[in-house]
Amino acid sequence: MIYTFTNGLIDKITLKKLTRLLLTLTFLIGLSPADFVTSPAYSQSKVEEGVFNSENGIKLNVDDLPPVNRLFTSSDLLKVSIETNIGRLYFDKENPEYQKAVFRMKINDSISVVKKIRIKIRGNTRVQICDTPPFKIDFHKTDFKWKWFNKLHALKVVNTCGNGKAYQNYLLNEYLIYKMYNVLTDMSYRVRMLELTLKDSKGMEPDEVHFAFLIESDKMLKKRTDTKELESEDIKMAELMQIFYMNPGEASLFNINILALFQCMIGNTDWGSNSFHNVKIFMKNETYSPVPYDFDYAGMINAKYAVPPKSLPINTVRERYYLGPCCKNDEFDGALEVFKSSKEKMYRVVNTFPYLRPKEKENIINYFDSFFDIVDNPQALKAMATTNCPY
């Protein structure tokens, strides 16, 4: 089974530790750390881009690839390798710059795709705490323009934060959160699970094989939903407060209720639709839709590094705290009906997921059951929706 990739491995020196060691050595011998990392990120000159038959290596026509939107409509495990200068990629994680890499992908075990790309570290908290934090891959700002990949634009990759079964499960649980939100609304990011191989072009690090997942780009979501994305400079925080909390239209209220109830269900307080924190805002015909991302602080995942905001009266991320708008019960009716009618389908997403053990799935379902106990209790729902709400 693929979930045994990280089981039983001897704890190795991580890149973070190697970086600290390198910095110490450079100080002792009087060299600059840049002396070790200014070599090219990766030489792409000998790499032939294209679509190839996986068995005989014969180059195929690009038109042989399936439609690009199939990348996020399939749940099959996608095998991907990325080759780059790993030491340089992780050396200065807090000041990331794009560097050259080569992307290889197998489709249906019969087609191999090779593409020169750019890659850089992304994120905030996980940049600080993860040995292998999330990164972004840029397909279209490269020398060779390839229409199939240009449609993907730049994609986020959520990486396994560190070695060990716990970190693997954090990633698998976060993937499931995206998939369950897809059940509730089309205004959500689609994802694709990867078997990711990270290869060091300098040969200094062994290949790392682990789970990861791709996240649909904003441009793909906009095209799929026929919406416009609002950037933070396009709209003020006070306007967002009016749109979602103070004077929401019926459709916008429905959308924020779906989001807020879902965040409550998974036990996530690391978001804000009135502050663009881990939420993107999309609009169509004066209807606003908040679309969430980055769920690693959710109580469903219960990562060892996750803590609730100090401003909230809860002690752990497993405690739910509602952050949506104050609503009367009847204003919740539309959103609640979506949750009730989608409950079994969301549970099926968890129960049919092949990469978690039965006990781990049971823990997730039990956590969700406690949320639906609130939904099914009008008094508990009223207390949650009018007492804990911020506005």
How far is 115 from 102, CA to CA, in rounded Å?
6
Q: How confident is the model at residue 364 (pLDDT cuts 50, 70, 90)?
A: very high
Residue 127: how many CB atoms within 10 A of its CB? Answer: 16
**Using 50, 70 and 90 to split pLDDT, how confident is the model at 300?**
very high
pLDDT for residue 204: 86
What tokens were used for 253? 């209220």
For 277, which DSSP code?
B
Task: Using alpha carbons, select from 387, 214, 250, 238 the residue that is nearest to residue 332.
Answer: 250
What distance in Å separates the CA atoms of residue 289 and residue 292, rounded to the nearest whole number? Answer: 10
Mean pLDDT across the stretch 7-13? 37
8 A C-beta contact, residue 229 and residue 216: no
Q: Average pLDDT in the 308-316 region?
A: 93
Which CATH fold would you assign to the domain 227-387?
A: 1.10.1070
Question: Has residue 139 got a pLDDT over 70?
Answer: yes
Q: What is the mean pLDDT of the chain?
A: 85
Find the radius of gyration of the CA atoms of the chain. 22
User: What percent of the chain has a predicted confidence (pLDDT) above 70?
Assistant: 85
126: amino acid identity, one letter: R
With residues binned 3-state (H G I as helix, E B as strand, rest as coil), the percentages for the chain, rounded to 5, are: 40, 20, 40
SS3 (DSSP) at 91: helix
- The residue type found at 369 is D
| Highest-scoring range by mean pLDDT, 40-49, 92-101, 308-317 | 308-317
Which burial class, exposed, middle or buried, applies to 330 when counting CB atoms under 10 A from its CB (0-12, 13-18, 19+)?
exposed
Strand, helix or coil at 83?
A: strand
Distance between CA atoms of residues 146 and 224, nearest Å: 21
Cα 115 from Cα 245, distance rounded (Å): 45
**359: helix, strand or coil:** helix
**Whole-prediction pTM value?**
0.88
Break the chain into its structural domains and give their ranges: 2-220, 227-387
Q: Where are the beta strands (DSSP E) in 231-286?
A: 279-284
Helices 378-387 and 358-375 pack at an angle, to 10 degrees, of: 90
pLDDT the model gives residue 64: 65
List the one residue out of 338, 326, 323 whose CA is nearest residue 375: 338
pLDDT digits over 328-337, tens only?
A: 767 888 999 9
- 23 pLDDT tier (thresholds 50, 70, 90): very low
pLDDT value of position 36: 46
